[in-house]
Structure 1
Amino acid sequence: MASHHNTQTPTSDGKWLVAADIGGTFTDVLALGPEARIVPMKVLSTPPDFGTGVITGATAALAEAGVETAQVAAVLHATTVATNAILEMRGSRTALVTTKGFRDVLEIGRLRRPLLYDLSWKKPTPLARRRHRYELDQRIHADGHIERPVDPQEVVALADQLRADGIEAVAVCLLNSYVATEQERAVADQLRDLLPGVYVTASVDISPEMQEFERSSTAVVNSYVGPVVHDYVTELGHNLRKEGMIAPFSIMQSSGGLLDDQSVVERPVQIIESGPAAGVIAVQKLAQLLELDNVVAFDMGGTTAKASLIENGQPFVANDYEVGGGMNISRGMGKGAGYAVRVPSIDIAEVGAGGGSIVSVDNAGALHVGPESAGSRPGPACYGQGGNQPTLTDANVVLGYLNPDAIAGGRVHIQPELADKVLQTIAHPLGREPRAAARGAYDVAISSMTKAVKAVTSERGRDPRDSVMVAFGGAGPLYGASLARELGIGTVIVPIHTGLFSSLGLLVADTEYQLVAPFRTEHADPSALGRAFDDLVEQVTGKLSTSAVDTDSIEIERILDMRYRGQRFDLRIPLPEGTVNEGLVHEAYARFHAEHHKTYGRSGSDEMIEIVNVRVRGFVPNPITIDQALAADSVPAFEESSRVCRFAEDVDTPVISRFHLSDQPRLGPLVIEDMDSTVLVPPGATAHLDTFHSIIITWTSTHDEGTK
């Protein structure tokens, strides 16, 4: 494991940290140096070779800071490379090796339809095609008894077949292997020896849990993206060194913790929600700084809008979710549209509505936004790079919300006449003028985004009105206030560096490693439970010890996956600190009852409880605090001006910088232009600045935005 101890704090000897987050349209870079000096940089993403954008942004930020690349102490990265491989179906040719008779587990899956009344809906095509799913004549019983062991000669013959079929990656998932792991690991090791260069995953190394379909799917996803992630991480690491950044390289995991690059290559399924997770961690740290209990994190970039809930200072972490299904879902009836993944992930709901999302009118005359996106190339029409379809960014230019000359600190030039021209293509079939059609697109996008927020609040038994919203991302602050009003949320916080807030999350995230093990007993024996936790703690501590200054800095969180007997779903319940004894187990039971009642509206008795898995999350706290990363030059960037913006009607709207605001509320409408994003304060809302340079938008009861 690559060590990065002593690297997380910029020091007086001139050391710097570089954090880079790749989005669908922009790559965001923050460089943090001594005395909390921070340099933001936003460059266009560079598909298909996204690593080029990281290098470009990092070197540009360091050049602006006037420092050498050799002064970089650590590179921290959030990437969509694994997600994109699945969404674009360009992963490796993957095989599944399983027990005889279980070849079709991936195909059968779960009896779920995300769209109950859409007769044209089809299940996603399995990432391992049927002709690439192979069976071994072996059998492990549910209690771990091995009825028929694996024949090594059968594996030799299988390797010949895999070679002949041009297989690039293999997932091994034998029935019930999670209770007897040796057989599966032996098969995986033998295949690695026989097939050098082929990426091999043993399901028990990724998700050693019951439920065959989820374990099989997770192993297949890991292998499908494995070679892509390996090549990307290896090449980016090489190019960083070539530029002189001879520094440890860490990547954000879906669970919200950083992990060294080599460990990520071993388990790439852990970084599918890498980018969104970094943003949520930044919001979590901000919520803790501001002592806010319940916060909705709303992140909108170039291709998607994402929502997550932070409750009592902690983000929800789901044990499983789906990827590649349009809206990433970790709960309920929406499942079935994507590929099941069973690894810890911050619970993030995602919809295809971003700045680059294409606006269209269907045959029935209804207006739609997304999920298709113009991305960064060709991008929105107003970028002048050949885009010829209307996007939300074009609509925002026509509405007057975006600077008609340039965005991203002047790096992306805007051609408003192209936006106006392309909006005509939707305005004409609607029988409206372009500004009215553009406002319609804005309202449709708001409606779409409310689904994402409700998925992480009301669908979990939480009322969004009890929360404060933090809106960030390149486009989030344009929509945050209107979205909050739609949901009944009274206050919206737009932090400094808002368009690069996921990169800021990388700077303040902890280094983290998690492990899980099944615990199959109906009534918890405290001594057995204690031994299970001790075993996992030892493994996690060993893995993290190379990332910490010393082992004393490693903090451990113990988690139980619990449910009532007969239930299919379980809940994550943190185990209180202390020696595992009867009292501690009963405290965990009480927590489970309370969480079950909050989530589902009812609870049962202790006798009904089952413990399904034990989990250990080990982490090394980051010495960098978010207030250090919120530093900024507090001088207005330009003179106050005005331009006409469309709300319910055209309004002459002041255009200001963040630092034209004070601690006294100023009534909207306002357009607030940062280097990295634009903040919209609609009529009927006020805005002021807090001590950490955050814009606080508050709805008043005496005005109405009049968007309907």
Structure 2
Amino acid sequence: MGLRAAADIGGTFTDVVTVDEGGTVAVGKALSTPGDLLRGILNGLADAGGAPDDVELLLHGSTVVINALIERRGSRAALVTTEGFRDVYEIGRVNRPDAFNLAFRRPRPLIERDHVYEVPERLRADGAVVTPLDEDAVRALAEVLRERAYEAVGVVLLHSYRDHSHEIRVGEILRNELPGVFITLSHELSREYREYERTSTVAANAFVGPIVSEYLDDLAESFSGDTASIGIMQSNGGLAGLDRVRRQSIQMVESGPAGGVVGTIQMCERLGLRDAIAFDMGGTTAKASVIRDLSFPLAAEYYVGGYAEGLALRVPCLDIVEVGTGGGSIAAVDAGGEIRVGPRSAGSEPGPACYGRGGTDATVTDACVMLGILDGNSVLSGGLQLDGGAARRAVGAVAGELGMDPIDLAAGIVAIAAASMANAVRAVTTERGLNPQDFAMFAYGGNGPVHATLVARELGVRRVVIPTMPSVFSAVGMLLADLRNDVVQTELLRVNDLPAGYLRARLEQLGHECAAALEAVDEPPRHLYGLDMRYVGQEHVTTLEVEPDIDREALTTRFHTEHRGRFGHSAVGEPVEIVGLRASALQASPSFTTETLEPGAGGAPAPEAVRGSRGVRLTAHGEPTECVVYDRTRLRAGDVVTGPAVIEETTTTTLLREGDRLVVDTTGCLLIEIGGRA
């Protein structure tokens, strides 16, 4: 059949989208299978009407890396570093993000100190050799590593970002002496200074590498047709082949959410928007990211478990804030007698009580069933029959503990969840000097459309977009993503001292290196370039996207402007320096465009679009409001729906509250203007 398929594994559901040779799109959704992730993909593919032998190209985003890191279920790994620097990983950073938090915990290393080893060698920061590499010592160390049966070894030598010849030689010796052991070198992952962050990154890659390699081997075996190929979604918003991801497994840490942001950028282009908030609410978590000027939002560092206590990863990664609030988030009474929603989740096994799979905990989804937002008698994609009675029993049990009316409690659960998710959006907008009201909010994921209008009210956002196929939108984004490779190289350069043409030559050199690493490049890729810059004497940097031929004066002016916009001040006249050079190579992969929606009459939807009506509790107190229920598949371009109303589709539900107005776009997107308050 020549299918192109995208599979996105989430904490509750596994989403699959397929496109055949004629451009027909099919959607599959299945409960995730934590013990055997591949089974969830095959179930989702079957739900979409496909089989592994039909798939010509599989694009995939997975939680396998982030799950292994958070749960600390990785390989038996060792770390090899420069003699005298064994404790870099243990010491970490001495900063304390929350000075008054008495319960503060330092990040706990993935590889304990007993498994960190040293080799004699030393470079200066300029790459000059102080101590030559002792190869005999490396061979002796290899014997120790063999005896202790390590599955993986990470190598991180001091200043290897400047000159990695010593690190390469250590890797050659270890691979020769330890066949079958996963060997990872720090310069293959990061060529930036900051020894702790580089060490933490290579330790994480060693920790997850064997698990990811085994998982990818199983994936390839299941999709082993003669023409089948597999692309893995990376945290940088691009795709990579299996060989590169096997070596750089840590690049998958946020592979699923990256697909949704890519899809949001593509839809922004079709709708004529340049700035947006990408809001993704699934069954386990909610995620928010900000798109400015149609550019993919990358962060220099990623913290597993959050900045306060998380381990740092120095890889190009989606700039995202995540909170433990999803449809499956459990609502329970805490030790103080207050209701708490999340971060504990019912997941996919057993899932919310209303899934009828044995769950008894009250969740956000159960509360939505209680309020009438979701039809408690409906059948979800994959044949999952909702059980409204089970939802009522679960919420009622918690209400009994608190002495509350169950319906009032359900409304409170939804309100608490919305406030938590709004905080995630504020973390990427208000806390960075941006006003969320200046952005349109794209809401997707299985629960994004359900809660979007309430979250928007919390933030003062007035424009909400529900894209086509919202519950599988991250998988859709994977079908739209480019092949991508990034290189970041530390290089300290005073802007005023730059020789003519030097910057262009170095950036283009890195660009060629990026392009050479792309798999199956048929056409010359396009390039993006950037610079990490700061005032002389500063610690942290500001990243600017630039053209390689930018001159010194224009570069300095741009930095002052960017610094003022980001931090509210600049220091015109102070010397400026470049700390890092960035280059990216991107090549478009085969994509698809959804069909233009046929026009309607330009007013209220046609009668056949109406499924009926039901009472929905829209406010914290009061009686249910009778809401018209529409079938999204029967809406046409130009149709207008005013709230309160419910728009249903197989995999999710969109709720309009009082004062909201929805217009159906020719792209199939639902464009909502938010009116009134919660």
2:17 to 13, 16, 30: 30
- Aligned position for 1:536: 510
Cα distance in 2 for residues equivalent to 1:630 and 1:361: 47
Cα deviation digits, residues 39-88 of structure 1 (max 9, x gap): 1111111112111111222244244xxxx755533111111111111111
Q: Secondary structure of the residue that 2:183 maps to in structure 1?
A: strand
1:284 to 239, 262, 265: 265
Residue identity opposite 1:453 in structure 2: V
- Aligned position for 1:451: 423
Q: Does 1:155 align with 2:138?
A: yes
What's the CA shift for 1:480? Answer: 0.8
Q: Secondary structure of the residue that 2:579 maps to in structure 1?
A: strand
Cα deviation digits, residues 404-424 of structure 1 (max 9, x gap): 123433621111111111112
- Going from structure 1 to structure 2, the CA distance change for 1:526 and 1:317 (only over 3 Å counts) comes to farther
Q: Secondary structure of the residue that 1:18 maps to in structure 2?
A: strand
What's the CA shift for 1:182? Answer: 0.6
- Aligned position for 1:4: none
1:560 to 494, 510, 531: 531
- Aligned position for 1:689: 664
1:574 to 536, 545, 548: 545
- Going from structure 1 to structure 2, the CA distance change for 1:550 and 1:178 (only over 3 Å counts) comes to same
Contact (CA 8 Å) 1:511, 1:547: kept in 2 or not? Answer: no
Cα distance in 1 for residues equivalent to 2:27 and 2:132: 57
Cα distance in 2 for residues equivalent to 1:204 and 1:631: 52
Q: Does 1:39 align with 2:26?
A: yes
What's the CA shift for 1:245? Answer: 7.3
- Going from structure 1 to structure 2, the CA distance change for 1:568 and 1:632 (only over 3 Å counts) comes to farther
Q: Does 1:255 align with 2:242?
A: no
Gaps of 5+ in 2: none
- Going from structure 1 to structure 2, the CA distance change for 1:654 and 1:345 (only over 3 Å counts) comes to same
Residue identity opposite 1:549 in structure 2: D
- Aligned position for 1:520: 492
Q: Does 1:437 align with 2:405?
A: no
Cα distance in 2 for residues equivalent to 1:690 and 1:594: 37
Q: Does 1:397 align with 2:369?
A: yes
Q: Does 1:679 align with 2:654?
A: yes
What's the CA shift for 1:219? Answer: 0.8
Cα deviation digits, residues 350-377 of structure 1 (max 9, x gap): 1010111111121222221111111101
Cα distance in 2 for residues equivalent to 1:285 and 1:491: 18
- Going from structure 1 to structure 2, the CA distance change for 1:525 and 1:93 (only over 3 Å counts) comes to farther
What's the CA shift for 1:297? Answer: 0.5
Cα distance in 2 for residues equivalent to 1:251 and 1:362: 40
More deviation, 648-657/411-420: 648-657
What's the CA shift for 1:637? Answer: 8.8
Cα distance in 1 for residues equivalent to 2:52 and 2:38: 17
1:98 to 81, 85, 90: 81
- Going from structure 1 to structure 2, the CA distance change for 1:131 and 1:630 (only over 3 Å counts) comes to farther
Contact (CA 8 Å) 2:27, 2:47: kept in 1 or not? Answer: no
Q: Does 1:495 align with 2:470?
A: no
What's the CA shift for 1:95? Answer: 1.5
2:291 to 310, 313, 317: 310
- Going from structure 1 to structure 2, the CA distance change for 1:69 and 1:530 (only over 3 Å counts) comes to same
Cα distance in 2 for residues equivalent to 1:571 and 1:628: 41
Cα distance in 1 for residues equivalent to 2:366 and 2:457: 24
Instruction: Show the 5 A alignment for 1:181-580.
Output: 181-241=164-224, 244=225, 246-323=227-304, 325=305, 328=306, 335-409=307-381, 411-523=383-495, 524-544=498-518, 546-551=519-524, 554-576=525-547, 580=549
What's the CA shift for 1:137? Answer: 2.7
Residue identity opposite 1:291 in structure 2: G
Contact (CA 8 Å) 1:664, 1:688: kept in 2 or not? Answer: yes
- Going from structure 1 to structure 2, the CA distance change for 1:436 and 1:116 (only over 3 Å counts) comes to farther
1:652 to 609, 618, 626: 626
What's the CA shift for 1:490? Answer: 0.3
Q: Does 1:125 align with 2:132?
A: no
What's the CA shift for 1:671? Answer: 1.8
What's the CA shift for 1:592? Answer: 2.1
Instruction: Show the 5 A alignment for 1:594-613.
Output: 594-605=561-572, 607-613=574-580
What's the CA shift for 1:17? Answer: 0.9
What's the CA shift for 1:100? Answer: 2.3
1:174 to 157, 182, 194: 157
Cα distance in 2 for residues equivalent to 1:270 and 1:232: 15
Cα distance in 1 for residues equivalent to 2:77 and 2:294: 40
How high is the TM-score relative to the length of structure 2? 0.94
- Aligned position for 1:615: 582
What's the CA shift for 1:247? Answer: 1.0
Q: Secondary structure of the residue that 1:270 maps to in structure 2?
A: helix
- Aligned position for 2:674: 699
Residue identity opposite 1:671 in structure 2: V
- Going from structure 1 to structure 2, the CA distance change for 1:301 and 1:24 (only over 3 Å counts) comes to same
Q: Secondary structure of the residue that 2:175 maps to in structure 1?
A: helix
Corresponding pairs, count = 668
More deviation, 151-160/638-647: 638-647
- Aligned position for 2:8: 21
More deviation, 209-218/149-158: 149-158
- Going from structure 1 to structure 2, the CA distance change for 1:407 and 1:150 (only over 3 Å counts) comes to farther
Cα distance in 2 for residues equivalent to 1:670 and 1:660: 15
Contact (CA 8 Å) 1:175, 1:212: kept in 2 or not? Answer: yes
Give identity over the alignment, percent.
Answer: 39
What's the CA shift for 1:676? Answer: 1.6
More deviation, 110-119/293-302: 110-119
How high is the TM-score relative to the length of structure 1? 0.90
- Aligned position for 1:589: 556
Cα deviation digits, residues 178-236 of structure 1 (max 9, x gap): 11211111112211111112111111111011111111111111111111111111111
Residue identity opposite 1:536 in structure 2: L
Residue identity opposite 1:644 in structure 2: G
RMSD: 2.2
- Going from structure 1 to structure 2, the CA distance change for 1:389 and 1:604 (only over 3 Å counts) comes to same
What's the CA shift for 1:629? Answer: 9.6
Q: Secondary structure of the residue that 2:161 maps to in structure 1?
A: helix
Cα distance in 1 for residues equivalent to 2:57 and 2:536: 47
What's the CA shift for 1:661? Answer: 4.6
What's the CA shift for 1:393? Answer: 1.2
Residue identity opposite 2:521 in structure 1: A
Cα deviation digits, residues 553-580 of structure 1 (max 9, x gap): x111111111122222212211225xx3
- Aligned position for 1:8: none
What's the CA shift for 1:640? Answer: 1.6
Contact (CA 8 Å) 1:504, 1:629: kept in 2 or not? Answer: no
Cα distance in 2 for residues equivalent to 1:267 and 1:462: 34
Cα distance in 2 for residues equivalent to 1:316 and 1:86: 23
Cα distance in 2 for residues equivalent to 1:647 and 1:375: 26
- Going from structure 1 to structure 2, the CA distance change for 1:368 and 1:146 (only over 3 Å counts) comes to same
